[in-house]
Chains A and B, each alone.
Chain A
Amino acid sequence: MDVAIIGIGIHPFGRTEGVSGLDQGVYAAKQALKDAGLEWKDMQFAYGGSWAAGEADSIVKSMGLTGIQFINVANGCATGGSALFSGYTSIMSGAWDMGMVVGFDKHPRGAFAIDPKILGLGSWYGEIGLMLGPKYFSLKIQRYMHDYGITNDTLVKVSEKAFRNGVLNPNAWRRKALSYEDIANSAMIAHPLRQYMFCSPSEGAAAMVLCNSKVARNYTNKPIFLKAATVRTRHFGSFEIFTPSLPLERAPSPTVQASQDAYELAGVGPEDIDIAQVQDTEVGAEIMHLAENGLCKDGEQEALIQAGETEIGGKLPVNTDGGCLASGEPVGASGLRQVYEICLQLRGDAGKRQVPKKLKTGYTHVYGIPGVSSVTILAK
């Protein structure tokens, strides 16, 4: 038995004045139902998440009060992946046959403001200016560039690709290509990362209808099968966000474990992945996550990216919809935006940004505070 995705929906990412995050979630949920030819009352379960735009299960007010099992999911930026994992296990366990996962968010302008106490850290940590997302990513990529020879030129090229892909994505926020100079000369946010190398908090929503694969073809002739879904948290010694000390012996990140376990569940290896979405909070994260997800060895990213292999026309297209850089980061939604894109590509429905090569197997990866990773493997 497998889990199939038979309906997908999305609300444009970016900024939509006058539409609440909840309403964006409702929009995506309704679109996913329409895509599957189903109604809300056909859903036996739902999982959903939002960091800042309300309780996800409040969408029942607009969708319909049916008594459905609806559970809210919260795992930072890994929320979407965790919600999908929850839906996956609901069906795999035999508890239910048909349900929905939804994620949405609507963030104010500016960087995320996080209270250290919610993570069990002393308030002093935030008072002295350490409670900043960009700080972690810059510290991590700075060390990685030192260890593996990734160049600033490669950072710029990853950013260029993101905005170039965003032009081809009608649901992206940033739809204007930026030149190499625009990016390389943009303001330094946290050395070595500049303004156009970072995503920004934004708005958006995405939703999926899942079902027991036995009935999938009753609803669609293009089911996408969820071959694996995993959620893993950090081991002692991995370099995570908001970590006041690290032991001398470094442990692999939660992404590595989530990834390895997903390959094993799906019965495939990295060589079988035709297209991937990896968390690109900033360009360094996209680069490092390629290796953490087993898609290349540490350091190989330099040659891969310089040769254009992660472009839409390359050997391993990565973040073909423009990723977090072009869509922004609505925390509850991003993980499901990634799955939406892979489904679209596997169905052959990605329009101007359709990957030209033959596609069978796709991969998604999200990473969130305080060190949680979720991976899915999807196949035709």
Chain B
Amino acid sequence: MSETVKKQIPIQEGLFTWPSDDPRLIASKCKNCGEIIFPAQSNCPNCCLEDVESILLSKRGKLWTWTVMGFYPKSPPYAGPDTPETFVPFGVGYIELPNEVRVESRLKENDPEKLKIGMEMELVIEKFREDEEGNDVMIYVFKPVEE
């Protein structure tokens, strides 16, 4: 009897390195003006040229702004593993990666009392849901750094 091996698949190829012991978000950096864009794209929306290189972003930064979403997102396009009945509020924020860029991300903290602008956050890759074949669909989130 054969067994299918369960895989961990990034929700979108090219968003972050995976599988990896040190996963990073993948961005593009313009060779002309130096601006960084996430997700990576082939042209620079700042200077309009098409001369970019792929870079891996830092995985730690400070929380620049945040919110906690208190309602079940309209589905579609939402495709989470939860239902309106099992929904739990989720944090979202922008994390400022030093000298790089501010990235928008889901957060691994949903208590408004525990979220503060300026707090240290770090990147983790975790399972969001399962796909039809039973594989884990992986996403990037940022969690508070435990000091």
Contact = CB atoms under 8 A, between A and B. Distances in A.
B73 A131 contact: yes
A318 B78 CA distance: 36
Contact of B71 (A111, A127, A142, A244): A111
Given A129-B90, A236-B45, A247-B102, A189 B71 contact: yes
A246 interface: yes
Size bracket of the B interface: 35 or more
Interface string A114-156: 1110000011101111111011001110110010000000000
A300 B142 CA distance: 34
Contact of A190 (B36, B37, B46, B68): B68
Contact of A244 (B64, B104, B117): B104
B138 to A, nearest CB: 11
Contacts of B65: 139-140, 142-143, 146
A248 interface: yes
Given A128-B11, A236-B35, A246-B94, A188 B70 contact: yes
Contacts of A245: 27, 36-39, 101-104
Interface residues of A, number: 39
A187 B68 CA distance: 12
Contacts of B104: 130, 243-246
B92 interface: yes
Interface in B59-110: 64-71, 73-74, 76-80, 90, 92-94, 96, 99-104, 106
Nearest to A250: B102
Contacts, number: 122
A246 B139 contact: no
B4 interface: no
A143 to B, nearest CB: 4
Nearest to B37: A245
B18 interface: no
Interface centre among B12, B77, B101, B128 (most CB of A within 10 A): B77
Nearest to A143: B65
A176 interface: no
Contacts of B124: none
A129 B67 contact: no
Contacts of A112: 74
Given A129-B90, A191-B67, A236 B77 contact: no
A122 B35 CA distance: 21
A327 B77 CA distance: 27
B67 A138 contact: yes
Contact of B66 (A130, A139, A246): A139
A67 interface: no
Contacts of B46: 236-237, 247
Given A129-B90, A190-B68, A113 B76 contact: yes
Contact of B112 (A122, A146, A191, A237): A191
A18 interface: no
A127 B38 contact: no
Interface string B12-28: 10010000000000010
B78 A127 contact: yes
A237 to B, nearest CB: 8
A246 B65 CA distance: 12
A110 interface: yes
B112 to A, nearest CB: 5
A187 B96 CA distance: 29
A122 B37 CA distance: 14
Contacts of A115: 76-77
Contacts of A190: 67-70
Contacts of B71: 111, 134, 189
B56 to A, nearest CB: 14
Contact of A248 (B77, B101, B139): B101
B69 A127 contact: no
A52 to B, nearest CB: 14
B117 A143 contact: yes
A130 to B, nearest CB: 7
Given A124-B11, A126-B76, A236-B45, 19 more contacts: A110-B74, A114-B77, A126-B79, A128-B128, A129-B69, A134-B71, A139-B67, A142-B65, A143-B65, A190-B67, A190-B68, A191-B66, A191-B67, A191-B70, A244-B104, A245-B103, A247-B102, A248-B96, A248-B99
Interface of B: 11-12, 15, 27, 35-39, 45-46, 64-71, 73-74, 76-80, 90, 92-94, 96, 99-104, 106, 112, 117, 128, 139
15 contacts: A123-B12, A127-B78, A129-B92, A134-B69, A134-B71, A135-B67, A142-B67, A190-B69, A191-B68, A191-B112, A236-B45, A245-B37, A245-B103, A247-B35, A247-B46
